[in-house]
Structure 1
Amino acid sequence: MTRIVVVDNHGQFTHLEHRTLRDLGVDVELVDNETPLAETDADGYVLSGGPSMDRVGRAPEYIDADVPVLGICLGHQLIATELGGEVKSGEYGGYADVDVAIDDDTDPLVGSLAPETRVWASHADEVTKVPEGFERTASSDVCSVEAMGDTDRDLYGVQWHPEVAHTERGEELFENFIARCS
């Protein structure tokens, strides 16, 4: 059975990420972001959302785990920041429904959602420049980097929250990530 660890960055929806993965038949564990990578064992990691970059603890260690990693909202921004991308305050701000265009229909994480999907996202902060080796895989009218991926390293990020009911096809995104981990 595929084992995924959700790294809790103190986001308000982290428990929903855990539950969604569990309901999809994954052996899933939720760990605090102060947990050292060496104390976990997984086929993949989800870096959850959270309130601020200064509260990510040891979560950056998980980016180098040599298994697939999915960053959600703050986790997406954390991957970008740690690997040389840029994150800035968004012009749009708080949570809202957003129409997202899938820019790469071959991407293993978001490609199946093409040509577009409707998501629930916060844009208080957002990735404005992807790190070297990454491709922008989705965009919207309010955010130029709604999703990014580096398939060579199996690192992916989405600005939106696939775990909430307001996001269309959120479970499909998690299923795509599980397939990368299997």
Structure 2
Amino acid sequence: MARIIACVGLLVFATICSSAPREKLYQNVGKVNIEVHTVESIQEFQQKHAMLKLTPLARVAAPGLDTHTASSDGQSDGIQAQNKVNYVIGARINGDRLVAQDGVSDVYPTLQDVQVDLQYPAPDAEPGSGAIITYVEISVAQSSDIGNAWISEGGIGQRNMKIVLEIGSTSYFSLVANIYGY
């Protein structure tokens, strides 16, 4: 009975949080501009921007949730395994805080190569208005384990940053970007 009450309480809490306006959940936290594109080839961005100096983010394996299960007759239930990866750069320092947070997810009927462009501060922000960036963490759940992330402009110790994230051969992804600074 206690489990049922706890589950109902969690469900009510999740419903309230998901129905709350996004601005209310992240008061005093800026936004990250996020654009998602499917691409013909995972190398397409690199070829188009061969002269651009890209700084890689460290790829850190996150504890994954394998949702692929088999039924009692040994047949797959058709649910794909979930891979979780964190991309990080910089370090948290005393006095920094979460200055921007945003997320995006998408589902595709067939496997796709996806490029996600992230920009802080958002393009409509006043020039020089961003916080000095100390640490970035991008958490990604996806159906494949193929991907990389690079800084293409700005960076740690600066007030702006553009990040290109590539996800290869995936049927879905979900990401949350957290940017810390002072």
TM-score (normalised: structure 1): 0.26
Q: Which protein is richer in strand relative to its size?
A: 2
Greater relative contact order (Cα < 8 A, sep 6+): 2
